[in-house]
Amino acid sequence: MKRRERARRLIELGGLVVKSRLVELVNDDRAALYGAFLELFLQLQQETSEQVIAVWRRQGTRAFKAEAEERSQQPERHRHAQNRRG
């Protein structure tokens, strides 16, 4: 993987961590986040990992759709203000 592609991937993955609000829940405690990810890793090593991933995928898909719908319902003026901020 090229350096630029890797950087983009890492930024996107970090964005998902923030979007999930885990960072807020653990008060930006990196050790707690890492421990949570290790726990997920252990959970996925179980025989039921495909089922677990399917559940997570459905939940994530619903959340992405809900966020997109929420953004599309924002007043036009509010969306432009957000775009200007970054």
Query: Structurally, how many domains does the chain consist of?
Result: 2
Q: Which helix (H) or strand (E) holds 33?
A: helix 30-44
Q: How many CB atoms lie within 10 A of CB 52?
A: 13
**Structural domain of residue 28, as residue ranges?**
1-45
51 and 30 together in one domain: no
6 and 35 together in one domain: yes
23 and 35 together in one domain: yes
38 and 53 together in one domain: no
pTM summary value: 0.68
66 and 77 together in one domain: yes
Helix (H, G, I), strand (E, B) or coil at 48: coil
28 and 54 together in one domain: no
54 and 84 together in one domain: yes
pLDDT digits (tens, 9 = 90+) for 25-80: 999 999 999 999 999 999 889 878 899 899 999 999 999 999 999 989 987 655 55
Q: Classify residue 2 as left (phi > 0), alpha (psi -120 to 50) or beta.
A: beta
